[in-house]
Structure 1
Amino acid sequence: MLVPPTFRPALIIVDVQEDFCPPDGALAVPDGRAIVPTLLRLAALPGFALKVATRDHHPPSHVSFAANHPGRTPFASTTTVVNPANPAERYETRLWPVHCVQGTPGSELVPELRAAEAEGRLDAVVCKGTEPRVEMYSAFRSPLRAPPLASAVSDLEARLRRADVTDVFVVGLAGDYCVASTARDARELGWRTYVVQEGTRCVGGDDGWADTCKVLVAEGVQVVSEDGEEVGWVKALGGES
């Protein structure tokens, strides 16, 4: 990426929670915990105008849990989500193991991010997925648009606009679901958007990442490397690359 003349970036660290991390997470993303050093290096860069972590924060009755659909199995089954305000708007969502339930250890950010929050190295933690009737991969909103379901829209967009953010860098878990959806929404909402590839891992492993990259690039999201090959973005944030 060429650093634009007006550059006021934000860092969004998506859902790096215990339930998404090996070895014991209920929905552990392969090699998910390995991204933590990259996240900490990025969070330490002084050039970010805003640094936000997000977390899934599901009620036990969440629609995405296979356990809430008799006869369905995690990963293999889907269910239809219907807009409560418009039955004509609906979408299919994959069913998952029970994960990131409010008040459980699995819903907590990994210890390194909890420490960063406590020490003021993160500006905010935004909860998502609190509405039991819909899935919410994106940290901004659910897929429902006609009309949006207010209970499945976070305050992340408002936070970015208050901070006059121009560019959004997205990292976290999982690259082929919540990271990709967050990046696509950031781009759709008008921000120049980048995913740092060392800072994410995918449910679908390397193949899932390769497929996700194709979709992101086609939709205007740039995929960049922490080593700064894309012309100086780390240096522009106060790093050494």
Structure 2
Amino acid sequence: MSTKSALLLIDPQVDFHPSGSLGIPSASKDANRLRSLLELHPSPFQKLFITLDSHHLLDIAHPGYWVDKNGSNPPPFTLITHADVSSGAWSPSDPSDRTWSLSYTSSLESAGRFTLCIWPVHCLVGSPGHAVDALVLSGVNAWLSGGAGREVRWVLKGQNRRTEMYSCMRAEVTVEGDPSTGFNEKLMEEIDDVDTLYVGGQARSHCVNFSVRDILPRFKGKLKVLGDGCSDVPGFEEAGREFVEWVKENGGEVVQCKDVK
């Protein structure tokens, strides 16, 4: 019986590459290696999944959602805790969001997730930064052209402005009434259909990290992270290193793009 391999590319978008608003310095080198991998013929991949971070301007992790006591927005990379919201050090710019903001930050801390981090505005739906990086897109088009009937399975994530969504499988906090923030069982079932899943994209410290943590428990022995196909957001290198160790300790592998056959 033939085996089936898939590539899952997490958020390979312009805004996470050097020219983007949340650019990662080494992301273009990752993209070049991913392009070469996608151009292999015959391809090692029978399926290709690509996630797209997809945000609104007033997303909970963007500056415009929040104001301090003087009415100023937080600068990028500000961390906002539940205590900050409780004290009024930071408040939602829309007062009707206060109850949710208190509940949200409390839920993050109770679950041991990342502290709410305010990011530069990025991956706005319809903006140039939302598009797939040109190097990666070139590889994707080569893969599509290399075999009859090939399709990319596109997965949008982060569209609900009231919750962060690092993982492609679920939001940081589920928003009642919005199934897109709950666990994506349909996507998991599609992934379950393959024998080996390779994962790359951006960023290793965040969206690759949390996506793999949600997938690997059901994919032990079959998931391989492309170690030279993803990089950390500057300042979060320790989270990336911890993730690599977690993968190795929990039934996954870390491989190099050149070793994929």
Q: C-alpha offsets along residues 170-203 of structure 1, whole Å, 9 cap, x if unaligned?
A: 1011111011111111103335222111101111
CA shift at 1:132, angstroms? 1.1
Deviating runs (4+, > 6 A) in structure 1?
81-84, 145-148
Q: Name the counterpart of 1:11.
A: 7
Aligned length: 221
Q: Name the counterpart of 2:231.
A: 201
Q: Name the counterpart of 2:129.
A: 106
* Residue among 13, 17, 29 paired with 1:34: 29
Q: Name the counterpart of 1:90.
A: 107
CA shift at 1:43, angstroms? 2.0
Task: Write the letter of the residue equivalent to 2:137.
Answer: R
Q: Name the counterpart of 2:75.
A: 73
Kindly indicate whether the alpha-carbon contact (under 8 Å) linking 2:14 and 2:132 is maintained by their aligned counterparts in 1: yes
CA shift at 1:64, angstroms? 1.2
Flag the 1:201–1:137 CA change in 2: closer, same or farther, 3 A: same
**Aligned 1:43-192 pairs, distance under 5 A:** 43-45=38-40, 46-71=43-68, 72-78=74-80, 90-91=107-108, 92-118=115-141, 120=144, 123-144=152-173, 150-153=179-182, 154=184, 156-161=187-192, 164-190=193-219, 192=222
Task: Write the letter of the residue equivalent to 1:54.
Answer: T
Kindly indicate whether the alpha-carbon contact (under 8 Å) linking 1:50 and 1:123 is maintained by their aligned counterparts in 2: yes
Q: Secondary structure of 1:48's partner?
A: coil
**Larger Rg over CA atoms:** 2
CA shift at 1:114, angstroms? 3.2
Q: Secondary structure of 1:114's partner?
A: helix
Deviates more, 1:168-177 or 1:37-46: 37-46
**TM-score w.r.t. length of structure 1:** 0.78
Kindly indicate whether the alpha-carbon contact (under 8 Å) linking 1:67 and 1:73 is maintained by their aligned counterparts in 2: no
Q: C-alpha offsets along residues 81-107 of structure 1, whole Å, 9 cap, x if unaligned?
A: 9997xx597103222111000111111
Kindly indicate whether the alpha-carbon contact (under 8 Å) linking 1:175 and 1:201 is maintained by their aligned counterparts in 2: yes
Task: Write the letter of the residue equivalent to 2:7.
Answer: L
**TM-score w.r.t. length of structure 2:** 0.72
Q: Distance in 1 between matches of 2:176 and 2:48?
A: 29
Q: C-alpha offsets along residues 116-145 of structure 1, whole Å, 9 cap, x if unaligned?
A: 445526622221111111111111212347
Task: Write the letter of the residue equivalent to 1:90.
Answer: S
* Residue among 20, 37, 41 paired with 1:25: 20
Q: Distance in 1 between matches of 2:81 and 2:177?
A: 19
Kindly indicate whether the alpha-carbon contact (under 8 Å) linking 1:30 and 1:205 is maintained by their aligned counterparts in 2: no
Task: Write the letter of the residue equivalent to 1:33.
Answer: S
Q: Distance in 2 between matches of 1:217 and 1:94?
A: 27
Q: Secondary structure of 1:90's partner?
A: helix
Task: Write the letter of the residue equivalent to 1:219.
Answer: N
Kindly indicate whether the alpha-carbon contact (under 8 Å) linking 1:43 and 1:51 is maintained by their aligned counterparts in 2: no
Task: Write the letter of the residue equivalent to 1:58.
Answer: H
Alignment RMSD? 3.1
Kindly indicate whether the alpha-carbon contact (under 8 Å) linking 1:128 and 1:136 is maintained by their aligned counterparts in 2: yes
Confirm or deny that 1:216 pairs with 2:247: yes
Task: Write the letter of the residue equivalent to 1:48.
Answer: F
Q: Name the counterpart of 2:257.
A: 226
Kindly indicate whether the alpha-carbon contact (under 8 Å) linking 1:79 and 1:94 is maintained by their aligned counterparts in 2: no
Q: Secondary structure of 1:10's partner?
A: strand
Q: Distance in 1 between matches of 2:211 and 2:116?
A: 16
Q: Secondary structure of 2:207's partner?
A: helix
